[in-house]
Amino acid sequence: MQEIVSGMWGLFLSAFISSTIAPGGSEAVLAYMVSEGHFQVRHLVIVAAIGNTLGAMTTWGLGMLAARKFPVASLLSEKKQKALIMVKKRGIWVLFFSWLPVIGDALCFAGGWLKLPLLPACSVILLGKFGRYAVIAWLFV
């Protein structure tokens, strides 16, 4: 039982860290755990998606806090400015692509900066993250 709990917590932490400003390898952790066959795949996907979504929402919150302190968008890095423009132009559904490498964190930050509604933003991000992890799990079953 201890191995199951520590394995799930490890996956959760890996997914959370991977979705914040720190790089991580949650996809590799998930793929390994799926291929080992010690855990139910749906539980692994759910844990990874929740951890990654909570990490993304942390970045979203940082964007919201940054907008309060630094309301001038010109203070943002070029990557974050591009993401801000994209989110302004496309709306909340662009957050579905928060799972993409490099731009995903910036999209979440931009969503917070623009003060997109919390619950819809979280739902769209979760949908994208869940889809990505489901595909990865399917590839390694």
CB 56 within 8 A of CB 50: no
pTM, entire model? 0.87
CA-based end-to-end distance of the chain: 22
Rounded to a whole number of angstroms, the CA Rg of the chain reads 16
Task: Please tell me the predicted confidence (pLDDT) of residue 3.
Answer: 61
Comparing C-alpha atoms, which of 61, 48, 62 is closest to residue 16? Answer: 48
pLDDT in tens, 48-95: 999 999 999 999 999 999 888 877 666 677 777 787 788 888 889 999
Structural domain harbouring 104: 2-140
Quickly count: other Cβ atoms within 10 Å of residue 135's Cβ.
Answer: 13
Total domains in the chain come to 1
Give me the percent of the chain exceeding a pLDDT of 70. 91
